[in-house]
Structure 1
């Protein structure tokens, strides 16, 4: 006699035309689902005679007192110290509440990120994620139904949950204003890629982030702030003064060469490793900072203080990002029905001697 194939939650999701996470939410009643969708899912559950796997559910219900943290650092990335400072902030808050931290790296690989999430599903009580996937749908379908998550640094399309971001717009806007106050008028802008938005030209920089339609890439916010700061100071935007490239030392070197050939008098560099490459070119040309060219780099690293002259930088509150993210995830684990919290932290403009 032929045995019936066991019905999986994925089968229910496909027939009901919803995500597996939505089916889980309906079964467990732990997150809001509209009555229309709930009715549709329940109908399919009955039709397919689906029965939840109690063994699998018990795995997830066992508390581990551990939080996962996935960072996105590729081989050439210099943001290691930034994310390690965030990890320190997370760990300090977790220890004060009797929790441990497990850290892993997606290496900016969306598939690797999903594999890590699957691994964490039964090993930790919640996850803090600096996402690589630009759409939350794939992440949402991978997360276990009882799994709490907090996003940091970037937001994928469709994500409406808890997050902690840095106000990249504020930091860049203030930096460009400082350059203009110091007498610079032909200000170049260097950055790595912008990522996805619905429309770069219509980006609503002064309004609440619309998480259901915008992939919040920090480089995009910095670019928008650059344009707005110029406009507010009645300086015309010149697209020739804006260059985008790979997040690499060589790209920073090459693009600085291009900008300086266009006779800019200052450069705002929105990426740390590109800042290093740019400074290398400037030093080779024996240009004097800040007399020949003014410089501001985004984010503060040890090397920015020891070069000559010391480099002005926009400092992100990395440790505080970690503390706030840990607080959010622990509160959500304790009380899953809490309203989602959206936190944006201010940057600090460290003025040294480069403009």
Structure 2
């Protein structure tokens, strides 16, 4: 094979490694074992592959730019959550002389992959991403090894890299425990699409609280729908009217708005007739009648922790093992329970 026809993918295939690993070996951007390095160098020799020296020269210069990809939906007020994370990131970047480029995947894997490819060509120094894919293997060939990456909020299966996450399971558990201690047993769980780690973790916390209090889990009290106001409204109606739920735990902000909208419209007294706890804490939740109890996430801190970890990797790319930091939630007790 001539050197004009061989590519980094050909080298990766010949060496039985990922393209990311080949790039790490060429650019010396992360630790790679001697055995793997030798395999890559041997494959490069056999294929007469020559790295693009111009691209390597460009990569050696810092752009002082960090990318951020978040999955915000037009219908979902979780935009506030991710914007708070972005604020935490940008505050520190500005102090360090960096710039932030924000992209939105709209919860679509293809768009997310396209954004990553654009960042690969922009010579960014690092990337922070709240992923949409369920399995980390879906990222291995597209994420460039030329820069460090920190995952936030969601943890795909098989992920063992740098990440900042929130203990959503415990947050949900504490909320359900509080409702049980108030005497509720018919507690409904309203959630957006399952399959996303944050939603799955919150459901696990719900189920664990029931089991620990020796209560049977009724699958009819678990309502799943799209993350929208209307879905929250419709599920609250169904669970209160048909399933006689006396309490609602709503696992995301926009569905909380919909559920509360239904209760208010029907003049259902909160918490006397139906109690409710939401997830995430926003100003509007403090001025409802009554004020809404919530599980509060440290969104700004997620951004701070993520960017500090990323900057450490940028400045010392070969130092230290991957870190996964789990932040705690806080159950904010208000008059809705």
Alpha-carbon distance, 1:177 to partner:
0.9
The 3 A distance-change label for structure 1 pair 61 and 135 is farther
Q: Aligned partners of 1:53 and 1:313: how far apart in 2? A: 53
For 2:263, the equivalent position in structure 1 comes to 282
2:228 is the alignment partner of 1:248: yes
1:193-238 Cα offsets, whole Å, 9 max, x none, are 2216xxxxxxxxxxxxxxxxxxxx1111110010111111121111
For 2:279, the equivalent position in structure 1 comes to 298
Alpha-carbon distance, 1:345 to partner:
0.8
For 2:83, the equivalent position in structure 1 comes to 84
Q: Aligned partners of 1:332 and 1:272: how far apart in 2? A: 33
Q: Secondary structure at the match of 2:141?
A: helix
Q: Secondary structure at the match of 2:102?
A: strand
For 2:74, the equivalent position in structure 1 comes to 75
For 1:141, the equivalent position in structure 2 comes to 141
Matching residue within 245, 252, 255 for 1:264: 245
Alpha-carbon distance, 1:11 to partner:
1.8
Alpha-carbon distance, 1:39 to partner:
3.9
Q: Aligned partners of 1:310 and 1:242: how far apart in 2? A: 24
For 1:130, the equivalent position in structure 2 comes to 130
2:63 is the alignment partner of 1:64: yes
Matching residue within 307, 323, 327 for 2:288: 307
1:275-298 Cα offsets, whole Å, 9 max, x none, are 111112212222100000010011
Alpha-carbon distance, 1:310 to partner:
1.1
Say whether the 8 Å CA contact 2:29–2:147 is kept in structure 1. no
Runs of 4+ in structure 1 deviating by more than 6 angstroms, as ranges, are none
TM-score by length of 2: 0.93
Q: Aligned partners of 1:317 and 1:4: how far apart in 2? A: 51
Moved more, 50-59 or 27-36: 27-36
Alpha-carbon distance, 1:4 to partner:
6.9
Q: Aligned partners of 1:123 and 1:43: how far apart in 2? A: 28
Matching residue within 203, 219, 224 for 2:204: 224
Pairs within 5 Å for 1:17-166: 17-121=16-120, 122-166=122-166
Alpha-carbon distance, 1:114 to partner:
1.6
2:308 is the alignment partner of 1:339: no
Q: Secondary structure at the match of 1:140?
A: coil
Q: Aligned partners of 1:15 and 1:340: how far apart in 2? A: 27
For 1:353, the equivalent position in structure 2 comes to 335
Q: Aligned partners of 1:32 and 1:319: how far apart in 2? A: 31
Q: Secondary structure at the match of 2:164?
A: strand
The 3 A distance-change label for structure 1 pair 321 and 84 is same
Q: Aligned partners of 1:132 and 1:220: how far apart in 2? A: 14
Aligned length: 333
TM-score by length of 1: 0.89
Alpha-carbon distance, 1:138 to partner:
3.5
Moved more, 321-330 or 252-261: 252-261
Alpha-carbon distance, 1:96 to partner:
2.3
Aligned-residue Cα RMSD (Å) equals 1.7
1:64-85 Cα offsets, whole Å, 9 max, x none, are 1121111111221211111111
Q: Aligned partners of 1:82 and 1:47: how far apart in 2? A: 50
Moved more, 94-103 or 284-293: 94-103
Q: Aligned partners of 1:313 and 1:119: how far apart in 2? A: 38
| 5+ long unaligned stretches in structure 1 | 197-216
